[in-house]
Structure 1
Amino acid sequence: MADRWASTNLPSRSEQREVKRAALISQAAKAFKARGFQATTMDDIASSLGVTKGALYRYVSNKQDILFECFMSSNRIGNAAIARANAFAGSGLEKLQTFILDFIENYLAHNTAGGAMVDIDALFPEQREQVIAERDRIDAALRKLIAGGIADGSIAPGNAKLAELTVMGSINWIPSWYRPDGSWTPQLIAQTMSSIFSDGLRARPASNPAPRKKPARGR
């Protein structure tokens, strides 16, 4: 019985292949971050993994495939953060905080492509179209979330699209300056940026100005 249990829980050949492919992409992403996408060659990636370039081609066809997977990984993280935010039973502002916390923490923990993530034009046209379409869906979902906060009064009235672009623009730029060996952990960055954005977008109670005194009439 024990042997049967063990055999049914061993990773299949396809699962082992996916694990190796994920490790390859992770290592390649680190090379992109260190050297830049354009300056990194398949030879560099193979050398960093300690394998031959021929072995790499068993898992990916070219550098663009690796960069594409980095972008799609980011999109999957964004979609998961949107889902958690929408499932949160709170105000629009609290949902926004949930999204920012979840996205930043997981983005830094699982997506290490760094500055290469701005090289979207390096992708093949069909890859770029797929990445942009998925990214646009995430952006639209975040705008809807912010608009919901404006509607429920937890977020100050304003331009939901501009707010969304500001949030995502700041988040997407984090890997260009974040250092895993630095003193700022993903959790600290996520909490700090969540506070910055939520404090800036939070609705303030309207203040009632003191009534103006009428000037005294001269005698």
Structure 2
Amino acid sequence: MRKGSSVGTPDEPWTSFTDRRGEREEKRIAVLRTAAQAFNDMGYHATSLDDIARRLNVTKPTIYYYVKNKEEILFECVRIGLEMLDTASTEVTGHGGSAHDELVAVMTTYVGVMTMDFGMCVIRVGEEPLTGESRRTLRALKRRIDLKFRDLIERGIAEGSIAPCDSKVAAFTLAGALSWVARWYRPDGDLDAAAIARQSIALLLNGLRPRPD
């Protein structure tokens, strides 16, 4: 309320509501990210809500303000990870260049997400502990990402920038290999995400055979 006025300006209540909603969402994401870290470190079944609360230095009832239960936490962690993959792959395609170039860009962003908390949770935990409907939702997201790989491979074959192959097998092989980065990546390791992406992609696309200088 402004000085000398008996009522607030029309937008003040909405601004206040928006700020509170934004702050709540930030805290909710913090809860989910902390949970993803715990799941990645200890496993889903071995992690309790008490463990997550301790990591956040809050009480267990505080967790329930942001999520209903542990299953919802896992669903949201995996969903966010998959949507990060989907969004990142969309952002690096459609800007010109060959399908091969776009495939490399998608693979690079894929590795980047796989080295993040939510991305690692997609692979280290996944949707298996969830109920049927949740699993179906997440698998639909996975299919969407798989189809992007296949489309790029098929386009590359058609234009001659990628060698003829079974696009389904190729997409599964590429995504499977890159996903496994989430299993062994360590933030304190010798290689950062960018270096891992470069080396992994070079091996997958060029193989191990010696090449001329």
TM-score range, shorter chain: 0.7 to 0.9
Residues 1:164 and 1:194: Cα distance change in structure 2 (over 3 Å): same
| 1:1-219 correspondence to structure 2 within 5 Å | 12-109=19-116, 111=118, 113-114=120-121, 117-200=124-207
What is the aligned length?
Answer: 195
Shift of 1:83: 1.3
C-alpha distance in 2 between matches for 1:28 and 1:118: 12
| Identity between Structure 1 and Structure 2 (%) | 35
Paired letter, 1:56: I
Residues 1:112 and 1:133: Cα distance change in structure 2 (over 3 Å): closer
The one-character-per-residue Cα deviations of 1:65-100 (angstroms, maximum 9, x if unpaired) are 111112112221221233134313111111110101
| Structure 1: gaps (5+ residues) | 201-219
Runs of 4+ in 1 over 2 A off after TM superposition: 7-11, 109-119
C-alpha distance in 2 between matches for 1:114 and 1:184: 20
C-alpha distance in 2 between matches for 1:144 and 1:85: 14
SS at structure 1 position matched to 2:45: coil
Residues 1:166 and 1:108: Cα distance change in structure 2 (over 3 Å): same
User: TM-score scaled to structure 2, two decimals?
Assistant: 0.83
| Structure 2: gaps (5+ residues) | 1-8, 208-213
The one-character-per-residue Cα deviations of 1:84-118 (angstroms, maximum 9, x if unpaired) are 34313111111110101112113323526448644
Moved more, 120-129 or 105-114: 105-114
C-alpha distance in 1 between matches for 2:188 and 2:16: 35
The answer on whether the counterparts of 1:36 and 1:115 sit within 8 Å (CA) in structure 2 is: no
Moved more, 190-199 or 48-57: 190-199
User: TM-score scaled to structure 1, two decimals?
Assistant: 0.81
Q: State the superposition RMSD in angstroms.
A: 2.2
Moved more, 50-59 or 9-18: 9-18
C-alpha distance in 2 between matches for 1:113 and 1:106: 8
Moved more, 115-124 or 128-137: 115-124
Shift of 1:133: 0.8
The answer on whether the counterparts of 2:114 and 2:120 sit within 8 Å (CA) in structure 1 is: no
